């Protein structure tokens, strides 16, 4: 099955402001992880608005069992590769495990990812406890993407990779955390592995865009790990993933199919969501 080529209008550079405009207009935002220059070029040609240099590279590239062994040097290296090829997409990078345990540490490491690695925004995992860090980063001109729900860097504390915020108390806390992080200055919010109705509530309450992964269809955008999208991640893949390469003729076609499915609100569907 062939998919139409999707190219961003006038190859515009995506900014925080344009992501807000997409949310306001109701157009879905497409985000995919990338760890190198070649895939970054293909992703931008497919029309992806956000390229995320994820610490998921620890698992899909380096072969670790979790993201925890990934270092700042690892992230700077891969982010730099992405930045050299990036022309249009907003470039977001994960701050790795224990690289933002204090405000001063966060400022130093985030500055390195922005100036040395060429990123546009840093992503942090955690709730209200990070509000002071978010305020400090944004006050120094460093945009922040927050991340709530399943937090891979806290997998040992959470007891494994499982759906979060299913009871009313934890759901309310997550909603409050999202609002507090927005007030602290976060420009974007990733919601991972939470019930779809809760993700919808959060998305409605916030002015900033929400990007879901395993959070149902009601977020303002969707993100997948590149290797999951292409069906090449070893072992059992999470419920919320889909192999877009199965029905495509090649990798560029699979990437375009993902963007098209997100834009047309066909992905994720109930099969890829949690209730």
- Among the listed residues 192, 246, 260, 271, the single catalytic one is 192
Query: Is residue 84 assigned to a domain?
Result: yes
Domain count, the chain: 1
pLDDT at 4: 42
Find the mean pLDDT for residues 51-77. 97
pLDDT at 160: 73
129 is catalytic: no
Find the mean pLDDT for residues 227-234. 94
pLDDT at 132: 98
> 123: domain range?
9-268
pLDDT at 195 over 90: yes
CATH number for the domain harbouring residue 192? 3.20.20.60
Query: Is residue 210 assigned to a domain?
Result: yes
Query: Is residue 1 assigned to a domain?
Result: no
Q: Pick the residue with more confidence: 177 or 10?
A: 177
Residue 7 pLDDT grade (very low, low, confident, very high; cuts 50, 70, 90): very low
Residue 6 pLDDT grade (very low, low, confident, very high; cuts 50, 70, 90): very low
Query: Is residue 274 assigned to a domain?
Result: no
CA angle (72, 73, 76) in 5-degree steps: 85
Phi and psi (nearest 5°) for 249? -80, -25
CB contact at 8 A, 88 and 14: yes
CB contact at 8 A, 134 and 186: yes
Query: Is residue 3 assigned to a domain?
Result: no
Query: Is residue 13 assigned to a domain?
Result: yes
Q: How many CB atoms lie within 10 A of CB 141?
A: 8
- 23-37, 182-196, 233-247, 250-264: least confidently modelled range: 233-247
pLDDT at 264 over 60: yes
Query: Is residue 72 assigned to a domain?
Result: yes
pLDDT at 1 over 60: no
Residue 12 pLDDT grade (very low, low, confident, very high; cuts 50, 70, 90): confident
Query: Is residue 207 assigned to a domain?
Result: yes
pLDDT at 18 over 90: yes
- Find, among 195, 210, 272, the residue nearest to 239 by Cα: 272
Residues 126-138: tens digit of each pLDDT = 999 999 999 999 9
pLDDT at 240: 94
Find the mean pLDDT for residues 210-219. 98
pLDDT at 11 over 70: no
Residue 237 pLDDT grade (very low, low, confident, very high; cuts 50, 70, 90): confident
Lookup: tokens for 68: 């925890």
Residues 40-61: tens digit of each pLDDT = 999 999 999 999 999 999 999 9
Residues 119-166: tens digit of each pLDDT = 999 999 999 999 999 999 999 999 999 999 999 999 878 777 889 999
Q: What's the CA gap between 154 and 158, in Å, rounded?
A: 6
pLDDT at 5 over 80: no
Q: How many CB atoms lie within 10 A of CB 86?
A: 23
Q: What's the CA gap between 95 and 137, in Å, rounded?
A: 12
Phi and psi (nearest 5°) for 146? -90, 170
pTM for this structure?
Answer: 0.94
Q: How many CB atoms lie within 10 A of CB 66?
A: 16
């Amino acid at each position: 099955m062939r998919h139409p080529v999707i190219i961003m209008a006038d190859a515009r550079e995506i900014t925080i402001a344009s992501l807000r405009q997409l949310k306001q207009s109701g157009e879905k935002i497409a985000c995919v992880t990338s760890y190198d220059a070649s895939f970054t070029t293909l992703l931008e040609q497919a029309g992806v608005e956000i390229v995320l240099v994820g610490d998921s590279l620890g698992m899909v590239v380096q072969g670790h069992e979790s993201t925890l062994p990934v270092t700042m040097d690892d992230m700077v290296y891969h982010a730099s590769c992405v930045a050299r090829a990036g022309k249009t997409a907003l470039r977001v990078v994960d701050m790795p495990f224990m690289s933002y345990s204090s405000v001063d540490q966060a400022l130093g490491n985030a500055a390195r990812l922005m100036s040395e690695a060429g990123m546009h925004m840093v992503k942090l995992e955690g709730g209200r406890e990070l509000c002071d860090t978010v305020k400090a980063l944004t006050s120094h001109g460093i945009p922040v993407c927050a991340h709530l729900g399943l937090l891979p860097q806290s997998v040992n504390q959470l007891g494994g990779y499982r759906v979060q915020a299913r009871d009313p108390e934890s759901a309310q806390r997550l909603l409050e955390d999202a609002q507090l992080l927005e007030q602290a200055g976060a420009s974007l919010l990733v919601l991972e592995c939470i019930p779809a109705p809760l993700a919808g509530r959060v998305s409605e309450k916030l002015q900033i865009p929400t990007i879901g992964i395993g959070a149902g269809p009601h977020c303002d955008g969707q993100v997948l790990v590149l290797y999951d999208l292409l069906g090449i991640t070893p072992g059992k893949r999470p419920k919320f993933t889909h192999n877009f390469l199965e029905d495509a003729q090649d990798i560029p076609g699979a990437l375009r199919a993902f963007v098209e499915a997100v834009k047309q609100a066909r992905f994720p569907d109930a099969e890829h969501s949690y209730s």
